[in-house]
Amino acid sequence: MLTDPLMQRALLAALLVGACAPVVGTYLVQRRLALLGDGIGHVALTGVAVGWLVGSTMGLVPVDALAIPGAIVASVIGSVLIEVVRRRGRTSGDLALAIMFYGGIAGGVLIIGIAGGSSGSLMAYLFGSISTVTTTDLVMTVVLGALILAVGVGLRAALFSVSHDEEFAISSGLPVWALNMAVAILAALTVTVAMRVVGLLLVSALMIVPVAIGQLLTHSFRRTMTVASVIGVVVCVVGLSITYWYPVSPGALIVVLAIAVYAVVAGLRPLLDRRRPAHDPHPDIPDDVEVAAPGPDTEGECVR
């Protein structure tokens, strides 16, 4: 498998997507915007169709040569619009996402028809088609993946502050508007990076489910992000490896594996919590109540 050039490209793309998607997903979960990836994915579908239309108009071969650049532009614009709407509060966040859902799908199907294609032409982008990853796609994935990791990990403290408590971030003097836009744009880039691996309809699951598993295993934001990235890499590589021998959809299998891991961890968590030794949450602060051991003149009393 490792000697096949196609699988080499596919495995590298899966490795990068598995590492990047949970990093951005950690911020989205913290901001209670777990479905943002779905909204952006639907908007990216319109970008794919626009790229297809431009490519067919220019006579490019293949006709979808501009599909990924079109998806990048459309998803970035869509994510910025969602953030602007959410920030100004003219409509609720879930309503803005719903508009993006339906508008993105409808626009994509309509434009792909104008370009001379059909709704079936979008299936590879909706559910992933990692076997079609070209060298150009891989280079773009490497560049965007490196950018996502650099910003997502390098600005982790500032992005966490904005995602956790925006009012505190404002009082601390952080550029809240710019950081919010950074999270939105990172989410858009992640969607386009993962488009070939799991598809636009399933990318949100790869961004969120590993984070949910990390939250079950640890309570630290930093550790949650690390655990989620490791799980994302593992399920992507394992899922893709299985599809080398069994003809199933790699994107669907990767998501199912992630959900299966979540179910196992959630089922075992009560057992792990019972075996975990009790610990003092504030070891640096002396206890203000002590229980005296029973002695010859006392039956045990509480001493301040």
pLDDT in tens, 8-31: 888 888 888 888 889 988 888 888
pLDDT bracket for residue 259 (50, 70, 90): very high
pTM score, whole prediction: 0.79
Per-residue 3-state assignment (H helix, E strand, C coil) for 141-192: HHHHHHHHHHHHHHCHHHHHHHHHCHHHHHHCCCCHHHHHHHHHHHHHHHHH
pLDDT for 96 beyond 60 = yes
Q: Is the pLDDT of residue 231 over 90?
A: yes
CA distance 213 to 234: 13
Residue with the larger pLDDT of the pair 53 and 100? 53
**pLDDT of res. 264:** 92
Mean pLDDT of 141-149: 87
> So what's the pLDDT on residue 303?
46
